[in-house]
Amino acid sequence: MTAPPAAIQPESLPRLVGEGIALAASAQGPVLTVAPERLHQVCAHLREEPDCCFDFLADFTAVSHPEPLRVVFRLWSTAHSRHVQVVVPLGSEPACPSITGYWPAAGWQEREVYDLFGIRFPGHPDLRRILLAPDWVGHPLLPGEVAAPELGPPLEPTPGALGPDQTVINVGPQHPSTHGVLRLVVTLSGEEIVEVDPVLGYLHRGIEKLAESRTYAQVIPYTDRLDYVSGVLNNWPYVLAAERLAGIAVPPRAEFIRVVLGELCRVASHLLWLACFANDLGATSVFLYGFRERELILDLLEEATGARLTNSFFRLGGVPYDLPEGFADRARGAARVVRARLQEYDSLFTRNRIFLARAQGVGVLTAEQALAWGVSGPMARASGVAQDVRRSDPYSVYPELEFEVALEKGGDVLARLLVRMEEIRQSLRIMDQALASLPPGPVMAKVPRQLKPEPGDAYAHIESARGDYGVYLVSDGSPHPARVRFRSPSFANLQVLPLLAREWKVADLIAILGAIDIILGEVDR
């Protein structure tokens, strides 16, 4: 097991300090403040220096309030398991050199920051709006900007350059297999994929903007609406970040309850994924089976939290109620059923020859690609990236619990399925342990009715059902967070779709998209 070395800073960092580059320490690792013109020098250092090796772009965003407007990004080193935060303050003509050359994952992230903050990124290959409509006027996360829609003159559709025998087909936003309102503009040659351009934002509700006008506690219910199939796993990074910001210690019993419910949500989410994925491949019955088993989990969640889908159960400082009486036994019973049914799935689906022909070797993502593109979670682990936030940057009581990080080498659609299947088993195992070692005591810390954290920022990330799920919070000392940023794993993972789907067939596009496991609520936010 790895120790949490988050606060240890690479030795070579102080060497960087000079004109335009400052170094500070924070509870969550070193913070580099860099002038835009020095950014590429810093990036090269952070990427290449052996004691840095920051190979994973964990988060990328901007903060406009309090002044100055700045780009903030956070890198993670898989080799050393530690973070570094880079802050790039910008002037009145906001422009920041693109870092896509170092971390391709920044591609969509920079588009998002451009979209919401109007910051330009010279060097970006394709700087378009991503979440808002292309004819939107203004940048809603700038201070003083109203979030009301104001549209410019309608844009004429631009005919793209098509080769001979090529056609463009819109998969979505209304399509059975986009699992929500995702739109893929697909260029086809016959049935073969030439290019895929995901168009996002059909489910963009401006939750980050909304959060700015709520109190810290009021933000929690919004988080469930992001990844709406794994309820409390959304609450978790937010309350974790807020607790770090305000220095709240959570009682141990609450931590264990959080683990139990979090793992249940992970199981429910993976079962739902399995169901929909099987349906994408035409195995209609597995679809119903997945839902049948998920029902058991949802019943448990309903019993514990009062809600089946958007639980909103975590509070700043713990959880509001203890687990109901007899919950542990019923949870163990459900776990037994799910474990037994997993074997049925294996014989019906995972070992089915037709399924194997559809999944093996399809949409291969290498470990290097996964890291470079910021892919995390089961998808990265299917490519052999042994990263699981529960182990690599432990939070809550995970260091006390025994479990294996599911890992596959294939990097294909099949590997993604196998990883998730194993994760269901491991999650049930974690849940069992957490229920067995539930300590006595209160479930809520003493928290002031209205939280007013000191000005500052905090970042927390957890392993959600889809990957590395982070929340970056900035406080200006008022009861309202100055900035709430959700680093959603689906958004980052979806970015590799064009890379994976090229030269495969339409049917494979559906399989590959399904195996990424996106939730549009989280992609569009």
Partner 1 sequence: MRDFLSRFLAGQESTLYEPLRGWWVGHGLPAGVLVVAWGVLVAAAVVAFVLVTVLALVWLERKVSGDIQSRLGPARVGGRFGVLQTAADALKLLLKEDIIPARADRALFVLAPLVTFLPAIMVFVVLPFARRWVPADLDVGVLYVIAISSLPALGMMMAGWGSNNKYALLGGMRAVAQLMAYEVPLVLAVLNVAAYTGTLSTVGIVEAQRTGWFIWNPALAPSFLIFFVAALAEVNRVPFDLPEAEAELVAGYHTEYSGMRFALFFLGEYTYLFFVCAFGATLFLGGWQGPLLPPAVWLVAKSYALVLAMMWVRWTLPRLRIDQLLSFGWKLLLPLALANLVFTAFWAVR
Binding residues vs partner 1 (CB under 8 A)? 167, 169, 175-177, 191, 278-285, 287-289, 292, 348-349, 352, 354-355, 357-358, 505-508, 510
Judged by beta carbon, residue 293 or residue 408, the one nearer partner 1 is 293
CB 318 within 8 A of CB 442: yes
- Pairing state of beta strands 29-34 and 192-199? unpaired
CA distance 4 to 126: 37
Chain CA centroid to CA 510, Å: 21
Residue number with CB closer to partner 1 (247 or 282): 282
Which two structure tokens, joined as six digits, stand for 433? 């342990």
Q: Which residues make Cβ contacts (< 8 Å) with residue 253, sequence separation at least 6?
A: 322, 438, 439, 440, 441, 442, 443
Closer Cβ to partner 1, 158 or 284, answer by number: 284
Nearer to partner 1, 280 or 422 (CB): 280
Q: Tell me the closest approach of the beta carbon of residue 203 to partner 1, in angstroms.
A: 20
Distance CA 515, CA 496 (A): 12
The answer to whether residues 81 and 110 touch, using CB atoms and an 8 Å cutoff, is: no
Rounded-to-integer distance, Cα 277 and Cα 297, Å: 19
**CA distance readout (Å), 509 to 357, 395, 414, 504, 517:** 15, 36, 14, 7, 13
Minimum distance from residue 498 beta carbon to partner 1 (Å): 18
Sheet containing 166-171: order of strands: 166-171, 183-189, 192-199
Q: In the complex, what is the shortest distance from the CB of residue 198 to partner 1, in angstroms, rounded to a whole number?
A: 17
Q: How far is the CB of 159 from partner 1 (least distance, A)?
A: 15
Residue entry with tokens 């690609």? 369
Comparing CB distances to partner 1, the nearer of 167 and 343 is: 167
Q: Nearest distance from residue 168's CB to partner 1, in Å?
A: 8
| Cα angle 58, 62, 67; round to 5 | 140
> How many residues does this entry show for the chain?
525
List C-alpha distances in Å: 41 to 77, 171, 346, 394, 520.
Answer: 18, 41, 50, 31, 36
Joined together, the tokens standing for residue 196 give 């895929």
With respect to partner 1, which residue has the nearer C-beta, 144 or 157? 157
Question: Closest approach of Cβ 189 to partner 1, in Å?
Answer: 12
Q: Considering the complex, what minimum distance in angstroms separates the CB of residue 506 from partner 1?
A: 5
281 versus 424: smaller Cβ distance to partner 1: 281
To partner 1, the closest distance from the beta carbon of 348 in angstroms equals 7
For partner 1, the closer CB: 289 or 373: 289
- Identify the bridge partners of residue 452 per DSSP, sorted by sequence position: none
Q: Which is nearer to partner 1, 12 or 285 (CB)?
A: 285
Q: Cβ of residue 133: shortest distance to partner 1, in angstroms?
A: 24
